[in-house]
Amino acid sequence: MPLRARGAVLAASLLLFAAAPRASAATAPSPEPPPVPERGVVRQEYPVPSTLPPSNGSRTRRPHRVPPPLEEVVVFEDSLEGRPLDDEGGWTHRDASGEPTAWHIDSLLTCSQGNVWWCGRVDSSWVYDSNRAGYGNSWTHYLENSVRLDTIPAGTTARIGFRHRLDVEKNYDYVTVEVLDLGYGWLPLADFTGRVPTHSGCDTASVIIPDSIRVQYYADPENPLPVPFRFAFTSDIGYSSADGLYDGDGWYLDNISVTAGPQVRFLDDAEHGPGNWLPTVLPPVGDFFALANNVVTEDICTINRTNVWVDWDPVLQTLVPRLDNLLDTPAVDVERSDRVVVNFDVYRNLPLNGCYYYHLNYRYRNAGDDGWSDWIDPTRLIYYGATKDWARQKVVLPGASGKDSVQVQLGVKDYGPIYCGGTQSSSGISTFFDNIAIGITATTPPILVQRDLDLFQDTFETQAFWNDDNINTPLGDSAVVQVSVPRGYKSGFLHYRLNGGSFQAVPLTVSSPALSTFRYADLPAGNYPSNTKLDYYFAVTDSLDATTTLPAGALDDLDYFSMSVLPLKTPTNPVRSCFDSLASILFVNNFAGREPKPYIAEAMTALGYKFDTWNVKGPSSLIGNTPAGSTPGGIYHWPATQVNTLLQYQAIIWHSGNLSARPIRQEDQAMLQSWIQQPGADRNLWVIGDDVASALQFGDDYNGFLSFTMGGRWIRDLWENFPQDSLHPVVTGFGGSPTAGRYMHVDAGCPLIDDFDLIATSFSAAINGKVGLYLAYPNTFGAATRYATKYSGIGSDSARAVLMGFSFNNIEEGGERIQLMSGTMSDYFGIAPCYDPVAVEHDGPASVAPIPNRLYQNAPNPFNPETSIRYSVATPGQVRIRIFNAAGGLVRTLVDRAETAGPHAVRWDATDDAGRRLGSGVYFYAIETTSGFRAARKLVLLK
């Protein structure tokens, strides 16, 4: 499952792979879910008094500079030296890979009466689950069987039918019904997520087995084969019964049948035992953590022959499939200090596509406590790195402040079943740990922390709402900041200015005694008119007169938080026929706060466009603080923008980056549909995001928004065939479109996060207007589409839409971002810039990366019964790929033909040239071309 919204982060010299943000401890979910907090963030309630503190009207006094951070005191350090390898110095480690079989027959949950097949279990430790019955994190469990379909008359439809009930976290955990395609592996026929049905009881479902699958199994009439099918359950790394963040029962099935017309070929009502079903069985793979020395690495700069922690098979010296090992430090006294950090050395030979990553947790305890806290993930990140070097990593343990003792845990896990479609090859993959130290800091300057949801939100509303003004956050009337002041609180202010004027200061007020670290402030009451621009920052001073600001660069870099009451007015420019002070473009950034910089705004500024920006605070929260507002009746209700207010705009750009949770809500789809259909002017809509089309395809679509409004059609959630390993594909402009001749590299360096949608034009749009591709992936399939419902020329009240299946931010060349913006806004939408361009790069296309000569690792590996070998050749010519046994003997020639330049693939079914099945063992495959390219790799056949 794609991993949702999230991304890769570069910190220090270590590349952090960010999984879905998670709550750091098992916290009881709110009994009333709306509004949905940003996923992984436990929502706090901030009481706001009816009477707000008035502004003191004073000018801002420049605070004292923050002194340098105080020195850390190391309270635990273990270099692992000076002791034999069997003396682990109080460290403990264990294997966490074993799991109970999830699919089983049970009568606890039922569709009517009797037994069902249930993917779930009862666990008494799941104290936040209402019935202790549910499912865990990181589950991938299958229930497999097969059925004979070889004697079905031509034209007869085969179906898999079942009754079921599903209760899982929507859009993150999901289930599928699959059949085995002999050429391409398991083929999903249907998928479900969330609650099915939404009412009580079970739902009846059926899926058709394609004829193209059935015929594969009776191609040899003398030896027909049964067709394998299975039910697959997949959960991601958090929000389940196991961590108490989602109270769901999992998936249960009853009355499973396979029919061919009126004939019943298979029937199981779960009342007669397991039969021939094959549920996933996950026994423990073993604890491989151990001390070792003289470990050879590929780091030519650092040679570490001393003791280190390794976690590999000691014979093969590589990680083990399904590995999930945990390593705990001894308990460490941290003396109730203000700040606790852990530092350690790590050797990283963990390529992203290898799908073996490491992570870090900690737990704490105070004297007198009954036991330790739950394990807490301080960063909510998992880590990888293929640099094959030693690096020093530092992680702050925020919840350990003020505690007596902590323990730190390092873990190494095979995340392939979660993120990569199954375990990948572990050959040559490893990671080591050394020099672990825990440090404390006795006192620090003020520390300020804020969430996007607690900052003021852009709006078109000019009348007071929430309380007594129209400048509000998505959660209430006041901006909120969390303040930690170890040396004593002296003063704190919200400093603000309107429309570039002088800064004023409003004191920060404690929210409540129970939330003493949370402080709020608000602007004076009033109805702030449109064309109001607010800049603001927080500043807190401690008893030693040290001041910390948020943002940190508020004083030196003039870096402020901001919001606007839209629309804004900006200077006209008659020289360029720009006579209107209002902007012609609205940019809705539904990915605000998750990008290194707003590249869309940067490109429009460089081209001289006049535009308004609506930055959605906490875009994954689904509170509804977007232009269309939220649905009335919830705890929090953001007012909707009236369509008439938007009529000044010729174009609306909606950007969702790689956000996957409701990248464009149905309320916003309805608003945009109404806006683009209004008469009286050209209207142009550009929707961008690598999960927009897939979200619309699977339940989020309103009134045909994808097909009728955008003219698009979703094909699949991954632009290239699995496995996704084109990390920098070249996207090209489509001939005959305004992008023709453009070449741009697109960064897909975080697979399953940057899972670009493969899209096409919709059939219905072709009837109503002019449709076509706009951008294409290297496989020539659609990366973006264009749609014009009236196309007799600009100025004829046209309505045009562009749908892009990847994030604008992923375009690597700044010049290509600008050129794409120019081609779309000027050439296709017909909108002229208002100001002179300031940073347009050359018009020439970016150079296209040359096609490499490359032999890729086969997948899967190890394999049974077959595997795929991918390769690419730089020039056309004769290509030969052969398989050899461990003794060097030739067993199979897979390819011996002329190939065009580019990528190719071939499958091997573990047979020799005579068609005989080969035995388990190590084999080698080699490629040679007439151009002189030669390479070889190892593969493993297991039976």
Tell me, what's the pLDDT at 782? 94
More confident residue, 634 or 771: 771
Average pLDDT of span 704-710: 93
Tell me, what's the pLDDT at 514? 52
Tell me, what's the pLDDT at 844? 41
Average pLDDT of span 938-943: 77
Place of tokens 């945009």: 672
Tell me, what's the pLDDT at 647? 94
- The span from the CA of 617 to the CA of 630, in Å, is 14
What SS3 class is residue 565? strand
Residue 873, CB-side half-sphere exposure with 13 Å CA sphere = 22
Q: Mean pLDDT over all residues of the chain?
A: 84
Are the CB atoms for 661 and 705 separated by under 8 Å?
Answer: no
Q: How confident is the model at residue 47 (pLDDT cuts 50, 70, 90)?
A: very low
Tell me, what's the pLDDT at 64? 38
Flag the least confident range among 57-61, 179-183, 481-485, 833-837. 57-61
Residue 210 buriedness (CB in 10 A; 0-12 / 13-18 / 19+): middle
What digits encode the pLDDT tens for the residues 458-499? 999 999 988 899 999 988 899 999 887 777 789 999 999 999
Global pTM value? 0.52
Predicted confidence (pLDDT) at residue 822 exceeds the cutoff of 90: yes
What digits encode the pLDDT tens for the residues 570-602? 888 888 878 889 999 999 999 988 787 899 999
What digits encode the pLDDT tens for the residues 887-909? 778 899 999 999 888 878 888 98
Tell me, what's the pLDDT at 724? 63
Place of tokens 């609205």: 586
More confident residue, 444 or 762: 762
What SS3 class is residue 858? coil
Tell me, what's the pLDDT at 1? 25
Q: Which helix (H) or strand (E) holds 817?
A: helix 814-822
Tell me, what's the pLDDT at 4? 24
The dihedral region occupied by 600, where left means phi > 0, alpha psi between -120 and 50, and beta the remainder, is: alpha
Predicted confidence (pLDDT) at residue 380 exceeds the cutoff of 70: no
Predicted confidence (pLDDT) at residue 792 exceeds the cutoff of 50: no
Running DSSP on this structure, what letter comes out for residue 740?
T
Predicted confidence (pLDDT) at residue 296 exceeds the cutoff of 50: yes
Helix 599-607 and helix 814-822, axial crossing angle in degrees, nearest 10: 70
Strands 133-134 and 7-11, sheet pairing = unpaired
Flag the least confident range among 99-113, 233-247, 731-745. 233-247
Tell me, what's the pLDDT at 444? 67
Flag the least confident range among 324-328, 330-334, 840-844, 856-860. 840-844
- The span from the CA of 539 to the CA of 448, in Å, is 9
Average pLDDT of span 680-684: 87
More confident residue, 36 or 463: 463
Angstrom distances, CA of residue 711 to CA of 700, 765, 932:
16, 5, 47
Average pLDDT of span 542-554: 88
Are the CB atoms for 654 and 769 separated by under 8 Å?
Answer: no
Q: How confident is the model at residue 94 (pLDDT cuts 50, 70, 90)?
A: very high
Predicted confidence (pLDDT) at residue 18 exceeds the cutoff of 50: no
Degrees to nearest 5, angle at CA 205 with 204 and 210? 160
Q: Which residues contact 38 (CB under 8 A, 6 or more apart)?
A: 21, 451, 452, 453, 618, 620, 621
- The span from the CA of 566 to the CA of 280, in Å, is 55
For residue 778, the one-letter residue type is P
Which of 364, 365, 329, 357 is CA-nearest to residue 437? Answer: 329
